[in-house]
Structures are given as C-alpha cells and as structure tokens.
Amino acid sequence: MLIIIGVFLNIIGIIGVIVPALPGVVLNFIALILLYISRGKAEISFRILIVFGILTFSVVLLDYILPLLGARKYGASRMGIWGAAIGMLVGIIFFPPFGIIFGLLIGAFLGELIAGKEQSQALRAGFATFLGSLTSVVVKLLLAIVMTVYFFVHLI
C-alpha cells in the first residue's frame, strides 16, 4: 500500500512542480521516505534519504529566492513581484498549462506599470522576474525527475 501511495506521490509531485498550489518536490521526497519505510535499507540508504532531504529543502528555499534575485537585479518593485504572482495564478486557472508562464510575465509587467515605471523598465523587470521563476521551476523539475527515477529504479 505504501508503494502505491509513493507512485501516486511521485506523479503528483512532478505535476506540482509546474502547478504552484501543490508542494511538488516535497511529495517526491515523501515518496522516497515511504519507499524507505516499506523496503528498508536494502533499497534506499538513510544517507541517500538525508541527501535528498537537504536537496529538497534547498530547492524549496530557492523557489522563493530565485525570482526575487532576478527581480532585484533588474530593479523590480514589490508591485512587479505581486503582479507576477497574481498573473501566474490567473494563468494557471484560465489558460493552463502555458498560462503560468505568460501570466507570470504579463503580471510582472503590469505590476511594474502600476508601480509607475516606464514601459521599457517594466518589461525588463517583468522579464527578469519571469526568468528567475522559470529557472526555479527547471531546478525543481530536475530534482523531482531525479527522485522519481530513483524511486522507480529502487522499486523494481
């Protein structure tokens, strides 16, 4: 039963990397914990579990830092960052799956315009916020895939 839950968590974890309402890589890590509980040290060592735990924590932390670093580097305001977050949510709801990308960019751009920036500055800051978020998604997706592959290789 734990293995079936682990398989389900891996699938939802990969989807969760793209859909921000789900915890993504955290679910993949929980699946590895379930594999460890059900199969023991024969399939997965505790040391590997700790390494994946540290990587999971680091990637979740980077998920918040990378967009802000990209935004700050190009002078994005708080309105731009809020616009990006709202645009991403609207994009997910109304235009999945690519709405997340375009919603993020358009939201950051509009947020910067509301903050009083010129159009070229708003576009640059919006694009930087978008790149930071996209980088974060790519890093999370890579880790989620690695953990999922590790799970299935050690499951068999």
Q: How confident is the model at residue 13 (pLDDT cuts 50, 70, 90)?
A: very high
pLDDT of residue 27: 96
Tens digit of pLDDT for each residue in 32-72?
999 999 887 777 889 999 999 999 999 988 877 777 677 67
Domain boundaries, the chain: 2-155
Residue 106 corresponds to which tokens in the numbers above? 């358009």
How many Å apart are CA 126 and CA 113, to the nearest integer?
10
* pTM of the full structure: 0.77
